[in-house]
Amino acid sequence: VSNAGVGMAGPLECQSLAAMQSLMDTNFFGLVRLVKEVLPDMKRRRGGHIVVISSIMGLQGIVFNDIYAASKFAVEGFCESLVVQALRFNVAISLVEPGPVTTEFEMKLYEEAERADYSRTDPETADIFTNLYLRNSRDVFASLGQTPEDIAEHTLRVIKAARPPFRHQTNAAYTPMAALKHADPSGALMTDAFYKLVFKYDAVLRLSLR
């Protein structure tokens, strides 16, 4: 089970390349290093199961989570490319894709974001992040957040499955969000829906979450 991960949220201009590279080294290359260690022996034994804790953000990018989503997209692409070869050796690969999970990790991330310096971006972007994104994120976590125990139960279910799924989403509330991308290959439907959700109907979103 690959579960190592770090988070990052905020305006792109305010994040250093060193911090981005460190995040990719943990979230993506940490998984690659692990798989390189365990896969050869699994192939020799012609049996095994690699379970990767990914994210719904590996399927759908979310505003102000550019680098974190990129790392999870990389995880998803890596596993999707590897799964067919692995199946030839009777090795299963499963991606567990949670939405928001209420942990100290997440709370610390948002507390740090509230105190951060946004002078390197323009005032409008800083205002959108602090007064729209952070406020809405707290409502999302309060309303839709799962506990770590929930994710552990989902992960156990995947491990024990007779035919392990390649993808397993833990929060049904996010299924429509992921479906938007597949409904319109041009991306216009998904982009328009998220733009309106963030900039036109954010008050309705907060009310519905509460």
- Collect contacts of 193-200 with beta carbons under 8 A, ≥24 apart: 194/63, 198/63, 198/132, 198/133, 198/136, 199/132
* Domain 12-209 class in CATH: alpha beta
What was the pLDDT predicted at 203?
A: 66
What was the pLDDT predicted at 35?
A: 98
- 184: number of Cβ within 10 Å: 13
Cβ 55 vs Cβ 72: under 8 Å = yes
Highest mean pLDDT of the ranges 57-66, 73-82, 179-188: 73-82
Residue 28: pLDDT band (50, 70, 90) is very high
Please, what is the average pLDDT of the chain? 90
Cβ 114 vs Cβ 9: under 8 Å = no
Q: Which residues are catalytically annotated?
A: 68
- pLDDT tens-digit map of 59-77: 999 999 999 999 999 999 9
Half-sphere exposure of 66 (CA within 13 A, CB side): 13
What was the pLDDT predicted at 204?
A: 61
Highest mean pLDDT of the ranges 36-40, 112-116, 145-149, 177-181: 36-40
Instruction: Indicate the pTM of the whole model.
Output: 0.90
| Nearest alpha-carbon partner for 77 in 181, 165, 176, 167 | 167
Length of the chain: 210
- pLDDT tens-digit map of 98-111: 988 888 877 777 77
